[in-house]
Amino acid sequence: MRRFILSTCFLLLPCTSLLTGHPSVCSEVIAEAKTDKVAELYRSMQLEGVVNWKAFRQAVAGYEKIEGRKRDILTLIDFSKPSTEERLYVFDMKKHRLLFSSVVSHGKNSGNNYATSFSNEYGSYKSSLGFYLTESTYQGKNGYSLILNGLEKGINDRARERAIVVHGAAYADPSVVARGGRLGRSFGCPALPPKLSRPIIDAIKGGSVMYIYADASDYLAHSTILETRDLL
């Protein structure tokens, strides 16, 4: 009986360190629980060996924080991978399914086969990292296109001003790799193979979350959405 009462007392204790009385343990416990949940989602979608775990974990952490999202769809672009590999993934977060995977172009001044340099500046012709919300579609000079709203100040919030949109492009077709050793590059837009651009745009338009990832400590130091506890 005494052992039962003691256990119950521990369950009722506030989320503080038993040794120091400080609440620091609380955030660590919550972060670990969230990571376990994301890891379970990662396994249930059978993403091992397909999607970068670190990129996926960050994408889901941000997705859960963005209140303005209207759809249970998450797009991850993983710029730690070369342009010759599939590195754009569309997830149905409600049905726990991977809907699409595709190659995707990066900005011409972000790098050659790998994107290694990023910018929020107009005229930089570089890709921008971070979280976006998708908006409406339109017919432009690149055909059927999707407007992106950058959510992170100083990182990607000039996306609309820079006309950074999702669109199809012949230079983003995998056949280009055989000729040049890498995918063609854009002016900063995530450009898709023409055959996949419309179905992917239709799947993600209208208020879904997009996360453009790279293994860049500078981004994490300035992100207005991700925090250290999201990365534990």
Q: Is the pLDDT of residue 102 over 60?
A: yes
Q: What percent of the chain has pLDDT over 90?
A: 80
Q: Are 173 and 193 in contact (CB under 8 A)?
A: yes
Q: Is the pLDDT of residue 20 over 90?
A: no
Distances (CA, A) of 39 to 36, 61, 70: 5, 12, 24
CA 138 from chain center: how many Å?
23
Q: Is the pLDDT of residue 129 over 60?
A: yes
Q: Measured between alpha carbons, how far is 34 from 221 in angstroms, rounded to an integer?
A: 21
If one looks up domain 22-231 in CATH, what number appears? 2.40.440.10
pTM: 0.85
pLDDT at 227: 87
**Residue 32: band (very low, low, confident or very high) from pLDDT cuts 50, 70, 90:** low
